[in-house]
């Protein structure tokens, strides 16, 4: 069967992408949705997501009542909830061992807040990224085991056989990372990505798993006539972790984020209030702010500072402590940015010299800070459209992090390479993974990883595509349209923001803003000009080309959105691509 024509005949845009638009089935669904009363642009977005008219109301208003799965559908959930309740009732000593990223910090804060609501304090332990590495280690678990009766491992622990055995006390694991064939010895290992699970809930982040465990614990308490803490007030943490951990925004995750944003808007959690204030966020956070404003700041402690700062910020109920922690994280985040920029420059040069056309883009450098290699890997993935791994070398070993593209399971490939002995250790999930490799096996390990990824189709795809939801007149880019499109959110992983093409748009003006952004005004020739912004345009071909084209017409592609500035909301087009008209 021949390939359908490119949308607006754009087979290769200025950024080298092929534009694809709605198909025949999409058009039929769009018409049905319009007939049901939905705005055409919103109808097109819903149609591209396969939403039928009768399901539109539920999709636009996702609720936990409709989407929350039964916690008991996960293996070991009953044992985990019972052990948690017993520890509270018998006033046992409890420790929470958490990963140092946003998901780990939010998961820890969920448990610490719930335990505090039950009148039980708990010890927080977050390993140092450089000194201890990811997950439980034997010395830490031994020390915690001596002083505690129960250790709760969150966002880690599924592969930690030896450390959990060394604990000497009961351990419950609440995690989402890919599991091996055998599980560590523990009272419970609750993980939707265990090999004996169905995989139906594999899209949950660790905070989502912890939330389900607390739902089950509250349900059991309620059956005994005890009211547990208010879990709905904790959805801000679940939303933050879901977006920051790049979990797919499908199913219950959509409800977590939508309802969590409503909780965030109430500004009830001192840590997130303080963080929003130091970030000068002057509006209620959207999903974008979770991933690109608040998340990186929470992460900064684990990346370049004290590993437990993020979890402490998210769990504190003291506004003064929250303000001090937020200020410290802001300083660390700026330091992280500077380190990241230097590593990114070197890693990009390496990747380009190695050739970006294979199934894997990778780079390794002496002394690269392990706290930024994951961010740099994400930037390389975006730049080259392929899975990327970035490794910091020190002594005889290298520690790295990888990010994947849709449809390619990086965590599985890393885990297999580790099982084969090419990596000292490694694990993760579909979209992200961590690894440790011997310096003298680096080339072999990356070659094997590339081979495993190629088997999944990485690097073999046709030229990158830009998926568009339809055509839009520039005059339609108004605040009411932007608000209507937001109703189909939240947008993020597995739920890309709606993008439309503007056919033959007239560029009135184009000027550089800051180091690499481009500001434009454009129209269809008959309406007043509308504003557009192309972020990081000068890091690719868009900036120079568009700046030189005032007074001409081009096909443009981008996302209508509201630009909030000084208390006002104005519609603008966030420009992604352009092509000759």
Retrieve residue 403's tokens.
């990010």
Q: How far is CA 86 from the centre of its chain?
A: 34
Among left, alpha and beta (phi > 0; psi -120 to 50; other), residue 316 is: beta
Q: How many CB atoms lie within 10 A of CB 455?
A: 12
Q: Which residue(s) pair with 510 in the sheet? A: 520
Q: How does pLDDT run across 485-543, given as a tens digit for each residue?
A: 999 999 998 899 999 999 999 999 999 998 899 999 998 777 788 999 999 899 889 99
Is residue 263 over pLDDT 90? yes
568 falls in which pLDDT band (50, 70, 90)?
confident
Q: Are 448 and 406 in contact (CB under 8 A)?
A: no
Q: How confident is the model at residue 60 (pLDDT cuts 50, 70, 90)?
A: very high
pLDDT at 223 (0 to 100): 97
* C-alpha to C-alpha distance for 510 and 105, rounded to whole angstroms: 42
- Burial class of residue 294 in the structure, from the number of CB atoms within 10 Å of its CB (0-12 exposed, 13-18 middle, 19+ buried): buried
Query: Percentage of the chain with pLDDT > 90?
Result: 85
The lowest-confidence range among 133-137, 204-208, 318-322 is: 133-137
Which sign does the torsion angle of CA 156, 158, 159, 160 carry? positive
Mean pLDDT (whole number) for 382-386: 88
Q: According to the 3-state scheme, what is the secondary structure of 172-203?
A: EEECCCCCCCCCCCCCEEECCCCCCCCCCCCC
Question: Are the CB atoms for 501 and 21 separated by under 8 Å?
Answer: yes
Angle at which helices 102-117 and 295-304 cross, to 10°: 100
What confidence tier does 175 reach under pLDDT thresholds 50, 70, 90?
Answer: very high
Task: Please write the tens of the pLDDT for every residue from 536-548.
Answer: 899 889 999 999 9
The pLDDT score that the predictor gives to residue 519 is 95
Q: What's the mean pLDDT in 544-572?
A: 90
Max CA pair span of the chain: 75
Give the model's pLDDT for residue 436: 95
DSSP class of residue 148? -
pLDDT for position 356: 76
Q: Tell me the β-bridge partners of 534.
A: 518
And the tokens for 503? 């056919």
Other Cβ atoms within 10 Å of 407 Cβ, number = 10
537 contacts 518 by C-beta, under 8 angstroms: yes
- CA distances to 417, 421, 435, 437, 467 from 447, in Å: 10, 13, 15, 13, 31
Q: What percent of the chain has pLDDT over 70?
A: 99
| Distance in angstroms (rounded) separating the CA atoms of residues 459 and 431 | 16
Q: Would you place residue 308 in the very low, low, confident or very high pLDDT band (cuts 50, 70, 90)?
A: very high
Rounded CA gap, 513 and 537, in Å? 10
Task: State pLDDT tens for residues 222-232.
Answer: 999 999 999 99
What is the chain's mean pLDDT, rounded? 94
Centre a 10 Å sphere on the Cβ of residue 31 and count the other Cβ atoms it contains. Answer: 14
pLDDT higher than threshold 50 for residue 192 = yes
What token pair was written down for 26?
Answer: 């999409």
pLDDT above 60 for 462: no
Provide the token pair at 22: 């709605």
Nearest to 467 by CA among 46, 19, 29, 23: 19
C-beta separation of 390 from 343 below 8 A? yes
| Alpha-carbon span 443 to 422, nearest angstrom | 10
Confidence at residue 97, expressed as pLDDT on a 0 to 100 scale: 98
pLDDT digits (tens, 9 = 90+) for 212-248: 999 999 999 999 999 999 999 999 999 999 999 999 9
Residue 460 has pLDDT above 90, yes or no: no
**Is residue 1 very low, low, confident or very high in pLDDT (cuts 50, 70, 90)?**
very low
Question: What is the rounded average pLDDT of the residues 177-203?
Answer: 96
Mean pLDDT of 130-150: 95
Q: Tell me how far apart the alpha carbons of residues 192 and 195 are, in angstroms, rounded to a whole number.
A: 9
Nearest CA among 215, 101, 109, 93 for reference residue 155: 101
C-alpha to C-alpha distance for 277 and 322, rounded to whole angstroms: 11
Write down all domains in the chain, each with its CATH number in brackets: 67-329 (3.90.1640.30), 355-455 (3.10.310.30), 468-580 (2.40.50.460)
Tokens in use for 475? 């005059």
């Amino acid at each position: 069967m021949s390939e359908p024509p490119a949308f607006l005949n754009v087979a290769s845009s200025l950024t080298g992408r092929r534009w694809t638009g709605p198909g025949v089935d999409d058009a039929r669904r769009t018409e049905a949705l319009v007939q049901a009363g939905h705005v055409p642009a919103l109808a097109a977005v819903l149609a591209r997501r396969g939403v039928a008219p009768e399901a539109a109301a539920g999709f636009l208003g996702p609720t936990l009542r409709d989407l929350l799965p039964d916690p008991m559908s996960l293996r070991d959930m009953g044992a985990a909830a019972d052990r948690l309740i017993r520890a509270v009732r018998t006033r046992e000593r409890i420790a929470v061992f958490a990963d140092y990223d946003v998901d780990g910090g939010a998961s820890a804060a969920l448990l610490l807040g719930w335990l505090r609501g039950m009148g039980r304090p708990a010890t927080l332990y977050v390993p140092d990224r450089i000194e201890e590495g990811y997950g439980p280690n034997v010395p830490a678990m031994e020390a915690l085991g001596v002083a505690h009766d129960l250790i709760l491992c969150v966002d880690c622990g599924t592969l930690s056989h030896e450390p959990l055995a060394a604990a000497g006390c009961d351990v419950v694991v609440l995690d989402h990372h890919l599991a091996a064939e055998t599980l560590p010895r523990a009272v419970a290992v609750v993980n939707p990505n265990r090999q004996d699970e169905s995989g139906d809930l594999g899209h949950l982040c660790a905070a989502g798993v912890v939330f389900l465990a607390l739902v089950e614990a509250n349900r059991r308490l309620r059956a005994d006539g005890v009211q547990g803490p208010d879990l709905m007030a904790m959805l801000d943490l679940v939303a933050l972790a879901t977006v920051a951990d790049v979990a797919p925004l499908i199913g219950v995750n959509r409800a977590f984020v939508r309802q969590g944003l409503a909780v965030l808007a109430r500004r009830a959690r001192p840590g997130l209030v303080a963080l929003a204030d130091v970030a000068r966020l002057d509006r209620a956070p959207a999903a974008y702010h979770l991933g690109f404003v608040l998340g990186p700041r929470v992460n900064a402690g684990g990346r370049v500072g004290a590993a437990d700062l993020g979890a402490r910020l998210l769990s504190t109920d003291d506004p003064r402590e929250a303000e001090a922690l937020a200020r410290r994280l802001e300083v660390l985040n700026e330091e992280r940015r500077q380190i990241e920029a230097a590593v990114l420059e070197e890693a990009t040069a390496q990747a380009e010299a190695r050739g970006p056309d294979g199934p894997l883009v990778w780079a390794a450098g002496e002394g690269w800070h392990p706290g930024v290699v994951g961010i740099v890997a994400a930037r390389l993935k975006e730049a080259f459209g392929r899975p990327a791994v970035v490794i910091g070398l020190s002594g005889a070993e290298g520690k790295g992090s990888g990010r994947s593209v849709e449809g390619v399971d990086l965590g599985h490939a890393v885990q297999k390479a580790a099982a084969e002995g090419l990596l000292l250790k490694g694990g993760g999930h579909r979209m992200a993974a961590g690894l440790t490799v011997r310096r003298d096996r680096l080339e072999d390990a990356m070659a094997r990883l590339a081979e495993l990824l190629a088997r999944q189709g990485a690097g073999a795809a046709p030229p990158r595509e830009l998926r568009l939801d339809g055509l839009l007149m520039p005059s339609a880019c108004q605040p009411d349209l932007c608000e209507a499109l937001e109703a189909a959110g939240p947008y993020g992983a597995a739920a890309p923001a709606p993008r439309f093409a503007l056919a033959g748009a007239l560029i009135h003006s184009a000027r550089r803003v800051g180091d690499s952004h481009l500001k434009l005004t454009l129209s269809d020739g008959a309406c007043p000009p509308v504003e557009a912004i192309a972020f990081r345009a000068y890091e690719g071909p868009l900036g120079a080309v568009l700046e030189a084209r005032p007074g001409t017409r081009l096909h443009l592609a981008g996302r209508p959105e509201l630009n909030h500035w000084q208390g006002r909301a104005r519609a603008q087009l966030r420009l992604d691509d352009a092509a000759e008209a």
